[in-house]
Amino acid sequence: MTQVTSGVQDTAIPGGGAGPDLRVDLAPHNARELILRNPILAASGTFGYGTEYSGLLDVQALGAIVSKGVTYRRRRGAPMPRIAETPAGMLNAIGLQNPGIKGVIAKYPPIWSRWAVPVIVNLAGDSVAEFAEMAAILDEVTGVAGLELNVSCPNVAAGGMFFGCDPDLAAEVTAAVRAATSLPVIVKLTPNVTDIVTIARAVVDAGADSLSLINTLLGMAIDTHRRRPVLGNLMGGLSGPATKPIAVRMVYQVAGAVEVPIIGLGGIATLEDALEFFMAGATAVQVGTATFANPVAMPTILDGLSQWLAREGFSSVREIIGLANERVLARAAEAQ
């Protein structure tokens, strides 16, 4: 059977109870580890800081939670309207409204540190220095299990160029964060590039423990009645089911090219969707927009995954990673 990630076996936490083993390792080469009980994560910006949905679903049963994007200073965010529904998707331009890193640290890590579910903090810097500074601040904060770098934001210092669109800039951010913290570092890739594989390779070489993809696709909608763009920010990020085929394709390409674990996301709403990502080469998945349409989408996918694996005769979710991806399969065979 294919074994793409190996850390879970090596660290040998005895597989708890009956049913397939759902554990995945998102930082196999990092001493601080990021081993999740299961591979279903809440995506950044769609689950707040983890506290908001606690009465509606068993938040502790998720694989991990990725926080709303945090910036160095507090941000007011974009002008309204900030969201627009589109066919099988939605556009958002929230503009990273958040209380800033100090505000977040004062409020949430004390809560997170009491939780069983790991919380990964999503960071959005205006400059390489800001990314590194935030990573250094979070390095010793109890309750923070890892970092996810949102390199889709514009680099103010470099004239607003997007970090994630340039392999050198993306690598520079990754290396700076790597040097500032020993926490597991996930780099979240933007799909708004010509060649995502080049960016993926660059950030892996710069020290990323794993990659998450994809962030939203840059899009736009026009209100024909008002004869103006719908969003206050004019353009916004497209998410939801409409984006899934693009996300699956990118996960497939990147998983074939790099050896670190891939966290797949983009339009996942059902078990079937999640399975596509695993088979394309993802080690874990994140669910975003689907939670808005159905707050219990994640627990439903998780239950379904467990049952599906058992029914199909798999003893671990790790056995299905890359099943539809020749390159991942070949690499796994070589490693045996």
Partner 1 sequence: MPQQFIARVVHADPVLPANTIVRLAVPAGVAAAAVPGQFLMLQSGGRDPLLPRPYSIMRATRAAREGGEEGTLDLLVFTGGRGGNHLAEARAGDPFPILGPLGNGYAIDGRMRRALLIAVGHGIAPIIALAESALARGVEVVMLVGAPTAASLLPLPLLPEEAEIIVATADGSRGHHGAVTDLVANYIEWTDAIYAYAPETTYVALRETLRGYRGARAIPPVQAAMERSMACGMGVCLGCVVETTSGLKTVCRDGPIFPLDALVLG
Ligand X SMILES: Cc1cc2nc3c(=O)[nH]c(=O)nc-3n(C[C@H](O)[C@H](O)[C@H](O)COP(=O)(O)O)c2cc1C
The upper half-sphere exposure of residue 182, i.e. CA atoms within 13 Å in the direction of its Cβ, equals 6
Out of 61, 83, 111, 218, the only residue in the binding site for partner 1 (CB under 8 A) is 83
State the DSSP string of 179-197.
Answer: HH--S-EEEEPPS-SS-HH
What is the end-to-end Cα distance of the chain in Å, rounded? 9
The upper half-sphere exposure of residue 48, i.e. CA atoms within 13 Å in the direction of its Cβ, equals 12
Are the C-beta atoms of 169 and 187 separated by less than 8 Å? no
Are the C-beta atoms of 268 and 245 separated by less than 8 Å? no
Out of 38, 71, 92, 253, the only residue in the binding site for ligand X (CB under 6 A) is 92
Question: Shortest Cβ distance from residue 311 to partner 1 (Å)?
Answer: 22
Give residue for tokens 């099988």: 88
Judged by CB under 6 A, the stretch of 44-52, 56-64, 201-209, 274-282 that binds ligand X is 44-52
Give residue for tokens 């707040």: 48
If one asks whether residue 269 binds partner 1 (CB under 8 A), the answer comes out as: yes
Nearer to ligand X, 35 or 269 (CB): 269
If one asks whether residue 82 binds partner 1 (CB under 8 A), the answer comes out as: yes
Out of 38, 71, 174, 215, the only residue in the binding site for ligand X (CB under 6 A) is 215
Judged by CB under 8 A, the stretch of 40-48, 180-188, 213-221, 272-280 that binds partner 1 is 40-48
CA 64 from chain centre, in angstroms, equals: 10
Catalytic choice (90, 117, 153, 187): 153
Out of 30, 71, 150, 306, the only residue in the binding site for ligand X (CB under 6 A) is 150
What torsion do the CA atoms of 267, 270, 272, 278 make, to the nearest 10 degrees? 60
Amino acid at 38: N
If one asks whether residue 47 binds partner 1 (CB under 8 A), the answer comes out as: yes
Site string for partner 1, 198-237 (x = CB under 8 A): ----------------------------------------
In degrees, to the nearest 5, what angle opens at C-alpha 201 toward C-alphas 200 and 204?
85
If one asks whether residue 155 binds ligand X (CB under 6 A), the answer comes out as: no
Give residue for tokens 């990964």: 120
Residues contributing to the site for ligand X (CB under 6 A): 43-46, 68-69, 92, 94, 96, 122, 150, 188, 215-216, 239-240, 243, 265-268, 287-290
Residues catalogued as catalytic: 153
